[in-house]
Amino acid sequence: MKKLFVLLFSIALLAAVAWYALPLWPANIPTGGVSISVRQGSSLSRLANDLERAEVAPALVVQAVARIRGSAKKLRAGEYLFETSQSVADVLSAIESGNARQLAVTVVEGSTLSDLFGQLQPVSAPEGAATFAAGSVPERAKLRETLPADVSELEGYFFPDTYYVAPGSSATSLLKLMHKRMKQEVAKAWEQRSPDTPLKSPYEALILASIIEKETGREADRPLVGSVFVNRLRVGMRLQTDPTVIYGLGEKFDGNLRKVDLQTDTPYNTYTRNGLPPTPISLPGRASLRAAVAPPASDFFYFVARGDGSSEFSRNLAEHNRAVAKYQLGK
């Protein structure tokens, strides 16, 4: 009886020691760190085997520590990078927290939908992790079916910004987030529109903002560029903006806009057609949206690039011709 008591006490003591000591089991973090990928719905068994294959810790130890901590059902998907010495419990704690490594995806203002799709392809990051999962980029032709929208053409309907995604995540999820952000930004801008704006809808505001975005990269000039186009719309004057012509040319544009291009009619040629083009031509940012719906009052109807990134604004054609001679022709 005494021997049985000693045996049971020893077992209990060993269990208590294991209970407190196992979580302190040191994880083997190699020089340069180790990256562990946890997939959505991944089981504790799979994670334990992945950690063992990476030589971070034995699978049995990982499973035991997870059960002691109650971590088995708390694992969160993501790509986790471990670079410093820590315990197995610390590794599991990081995976429970969801503090996964993320990659920055920056979509520049003025990008087109084609530019955006080029960024969404499953390319490898410098560390070797795929930015987006293969097969997660929807076909552009079926994009309208994937995203909730009130228009048939989704050009312009994605908000340009820097987004952070877990390596190997879904590109469709990012597109949905960008689309939702743009709808919010357009709605917010439309609420702040000038009472006398000639624009008839939030979609028209998005179209004009996309043109403003392509016309200047200088944020300080965007409000006055917006005023020029709004003034033209008010009096029924054609917008006569090169970026819409270039967009209409598509792949035919070779970087050199010719006089014949300005004279060739397309739905996007604002030299041959009145009003706004049928769709946006780029992804505008917040400043361009604001410039479209509420530009400052001005009597400008023309502008020309000065060559330093800024623009020269003119009230009439005579002033504009002098500005063109000065800044474009060097006279």
User: What ranges do the domains of the chain cover?
Assistant: 22-97, 103-185, 193-327
Q: Where are the alpha helices (DSSP H) in 159-299?
A: 171-191, 202-215, 222-235, 242-249, 259-263, 286-293
List C-alpha distances in Å: 153 to 140, 142, 265, 270, 286: 10, 11, 21, 19, 20
At the topology level of CATH, where does 22-97 sit? Dna Ligase; domain 1 (3.30.1490)
User: Which pLDDT value is given to residue 124?
Assistant: 46
User: Which pLDDT value is given to residue 216?
Assistant: 86
Distance CA 148, CA 157 (A): 11
Average pLDDT over residues 137-161: 79
Is the pLDDT score of 256 beyond 70? yes
User: Which pLDDT value is given to residue 205?
Assistant: 97
User: Which pLDDT value is given to residue 22?
Assistant: 65
End-to-end CA distance of the chain: 112
User: Which pLDDT value is given to residue 5?
Assistant: 45
pLDDT tens track for 114-147: 888 888 875 544 444 556 766 677 777 777 777 7
| pTM, entire model | 0.73
Is the pLDDT score of 151 beyond 90? no
Length of the chain, in residues = 331
pLDDT tens track for 224-236: 999 999 999 999 9
Q: How far is CA 18 from the centre of its chain?
A: 47
Per the DSSP assignment, residues forming a β-bridge with 209 are none
pLDDT tier at 162 (50, 70, 90 boundaries)? confident
The three-state (H, E, C) secondary structure of 169-208, written as one string:
ECHHHHHHHHHHHHHHHHHHHHHCCCCCCCCCCHHHHHHH
Q: Among residues of the chain, what percentage have pLDDT more than 70?
A: 84
pLDDT tens track for 259-312: 898 999 999 999 999 999 999 999 999 999 999 999 999 999 999 988 888 898
Across 56-60, 74-78, 236-240, 310-314, least confident range? 74-78
Distance CA 240, CA 228 (A): 11
User: Which pLDDT value is given to residue 106?
Assistant: 85
Q: What residues have CB less than 8 Å from 195, skipping those under 6 apart? A: none
**Which of 29-33, 108-112, 207-211, 317-321 is the most confident on average?**
207-211
Average pLDDT over residues 27-52: 80
Is the pLDDT score of 21 beyond 60? no
User: Which pLDDT value is given to residue 76?
Assistant: 78
Average pLDDT over residues 101-109: 81
- Work out the mean pLDDT of the chain and round it to a whole number: 83
The continuous run of DSSP H or E covering 9 comes out as helix 2-21
Q: What residues have CB less than 8 Å from 78, skipping those under 6 apart? A: 37, 38, 95, 98, 100, 101, 166
User: Which pLDDT value is given to residue 118?
Assistant: 82
pLDDT tier at 149 (50, 70, 90 boundaries)? low
